[in-house]
């Protein structure tokens, strides 16, 4: 199995065996929960972290990340051609208020992602590469009610030893549905930023404040834990100028990245009936 498959299985097993089981007031569902879960994977040495213990829709997280980098917040603008993953979180204007990319590039009065690239071009050893999606003026703390608030709410980027390392900080992670897509998506962002800055991708770290499995996913989690995959390490080869092409909403880019991944991806069968809990 791939290194990420092993990490993922061990994490699910730990949550099911040692997680605290409580009913969540908002959803009405029981969850098995562990606080403070963190793992790291060296992309260059251990491969791109794409789960193969069940088939993950590659097109979804690739198109989503291009949409983020472009700084968009309407699914009808590019994203819906590839996935409807954000359709359940739109307001009546077909806008995702908390769209990560929009917040990275527009929401706080500055282009955080663009500034990050410029900072690390000029000062590669900087430790100030922090990008936020969480708006303390309206998100959480019993404030404005909305369909969604950011789960991966911040990430930091450091260039150390000629490699770009990304630490993704997640307040809440649905381990069966959200986690595999989040890991693959933000690892893809890491690789794209590394290419843009002319360095190699290094360690991807995923830190979760609340890692949980919903009661309706317990059996599916046990099925994943019992599986054995033959997936080998995936070496991601991005097309040239991926960051700039993402900013331009280049649809051909999605197909090119997918083609490279799919040539190496050997997932086991999907597990049917895993429903999202909103």
Helix (H, G, I), strand (E, B) or coil at 179: helix
Q: How far apart are alpha carbons 149 and 43 in whole angstroms?
A: 28
Which of 181, 175, 239 shows the shortest CA–CA distance to 19?
Answer: 175
In this predicted model, what pLDDT tens digit does every residue of 101-139 receive, in sequence order? 999 999 999 999 999 999 999 999 999 999 999 999 999
Q: pLDDT category, 27, cuts 50, 70, 90? A: very high
In this predicted model, what pLDDT tens digit does every residue of 233-274 receive, in sequence order? 999 999 999 999 999 999 999 999 999 999 999 999 999 989
In this predicted model, what pLDDT tens digit does every residue of 68-77 receive, in sequence order? 999 999 999 9
Q: What is the pTM of this model?
A: 0.97
Q: How many CB atoms lie within 10 A of CB 273?
A: 9
Return the active site residues.
Answer: 151
Q: How far apart are alpha carbons 42 and 46 in whole angstroms?
A: 5
Which of 248, 243, 236 shows the shortest CA–CA distance to 204?
Answer: 236
Which of 119, 81, 93 shows the shortest CA–CA distance to 197?
Answer: 119
Report pLDDT for 147. 67
Query: What value, to the nearest 5°, has the Cα angle with vertex 51 and ends 47 and 55?
Result: 135
230 pLDDT more than 80: yes
Give me the phi and psi of 45, to 5 degrees please.
-90, -35
In this predicted model, what pLDDT tens digit does every residue of 41-86 receive, in sequence order? 999 999 999 999 999 999 999 999 999 999 999 999 999 999 999 9
Q: Tell me the percentage of the chain whose pLDDT exceeds 70.
A: 99
Q: How many CB atoms lie within 10 A of CB 22?
A: 11
In this predicted model, what pLDDT tens digit does every residue of 9-18 receive, in sequence order? 999 999 999 9
* Cα Rg, the chain, nearest whole Å: 18
Report pLDDT for 145. 72
Lowest mean pLDDT among 1-5, 107-111, 146-150: 146-150
What is the total residue count of the chain?
Answer: 278
231 pLDDT more than 80: yes
Summarize the confidence of residues 166-178 as an average pLDDT: 98
Q: Tell me the percentage of the chain whose pLDDT exceeds 90.
A: 94
The residues with which 131 forms a beta bridge, in sequence order, are 155
DSSP secondary-structure letter at 1? -
206 pLDDT more than 70: yes
Lowest mean pLDDT among 137-146, 178-187, 228-237: 137-146
Report pLDDT for 148. 84
Q: How far apart are alpha carbons 100 and 71 in whole angstroms?
A: 8
CB of 101 closer than 8 Å to CB of 73: yes
Average pLDDT of every residue of the chain? 96
Q: Where are the domains of the chain?
A: 3-262
> What are the distances in angstroms from CA 208 to CA 141, 166, 167, 179, 255?
18, 14, 11, 10, 31
Q: How far apart are alpha carbons 133 and 111 in whole angstroms?
A: 12
Q: What is the CATH number of domain 3-262?
A: 3.30.572.10
């Amino acid at each position: 199995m791939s290194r990420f498959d092993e990490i993922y299985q061990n994490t699910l097993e730990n949550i099911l065996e040692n997680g605290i089981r409580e009913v969540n007031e908002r959803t009405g569902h029981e969850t098995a929960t562990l606080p403070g879960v963190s793992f790291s994977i060296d992309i260059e040495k251990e491969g791109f972290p794409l789960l193969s213990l069940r088939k993950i829709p590659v097109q979804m997280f690739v198109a989503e990340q291009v949409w983020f980098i472009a700084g968009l917040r309407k699914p009808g603008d590019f994203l819906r051609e590839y996935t409807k993953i954000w359709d359940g979180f739109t307001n009546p204007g077909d806008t995702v208020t908390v769209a990560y990319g929009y917040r990275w590039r527009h929401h706080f009065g500055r282009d955080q992602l663009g500034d990050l690239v410029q900072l690390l071009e000029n000062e590669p050893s900087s430790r100030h590469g922090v990008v936020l999606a969480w708006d303390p003026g309206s998100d959480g703390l019993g404030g404005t009610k909305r369909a969604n608030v950011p789960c991966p709410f911040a990430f930091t980027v450091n260039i150390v030893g000629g490699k770009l390392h990304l630490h993704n900080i997640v307040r809440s992670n649905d381990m069966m549905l959200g986690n595999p897509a989040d890991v693959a998506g933000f690892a893809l962002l890491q690789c794209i930023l590394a290419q843009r800055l002319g360095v190699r991708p290094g360690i991807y770290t995923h830190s979760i404040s609340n890692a949980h499995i919903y009661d309706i996913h317990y059996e599916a989690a046990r099925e994943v834990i019992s599986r054995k995959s033959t997936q080998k390490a995936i070496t991601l080869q991005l097309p040239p100028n991926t960051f700039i092409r993402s900013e331009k909403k280049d649809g051909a880019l999605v197909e090119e990245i997918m083609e490279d991944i799919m040539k190496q991806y050997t997932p086991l069968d999907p597990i049917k009936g895993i429903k999202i809990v909103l």
